[in-house]
Amino acid sequence: MLKSFLFNNKIFKYKKIPNSIMTQINLRLPNELKKEAERYMHKYGYRNIQELAKDALRMKICEEESIRETLDIIKNKELMKSIERSRKDLIMGRVLSWEELQKKWNKDHAKK
């Protein structure tokens, strides 16, 4: 689950990852990418490339989780709309047989 905070009227999302257990990895970079990483590191105050790499990984993971959470919210809203439409159809007596429902579903999904 992502946490968020507001700073300068922008919402930032983050995931707290405990530092208690560390694993070492080796990373090979093309020379030009290493030079760019060093420039970025100095410009934005990272102590070393490892710190920059950890931050970049955290940001990528949070970005992916944020996208998934947003999609889940959208799916839930669509599901709720569908449930509400179905409820209204039941109230109005608009009910489809199983065969009609299958035909409608096949027709709707053939377009996609």
Domain chopping of the chain, boundaries: 3-16+29-110
* Residue 56 to residue 41: CA distance in whole angstroms: 11
What pTM value is reported for the model?
Answer: 0.47
Check residue 33 and give its pLDDT.
Answer: 95
Check residue 42 and give its pLDDT.
Answer: 93
* Residue 24 to residue 31: CA distance in whole angstroms: 21
Say what angle helices 49-91 and 31-44 make with each other, to 10 degrees: 80
Bridge partners of 36, per DSSP, are none
* Residue 41 to residue 45: CA distance in whole angstroms: 6
More confident residue, 95 or 5: 95
- Residue 6, helix vs strand vs coil: strand
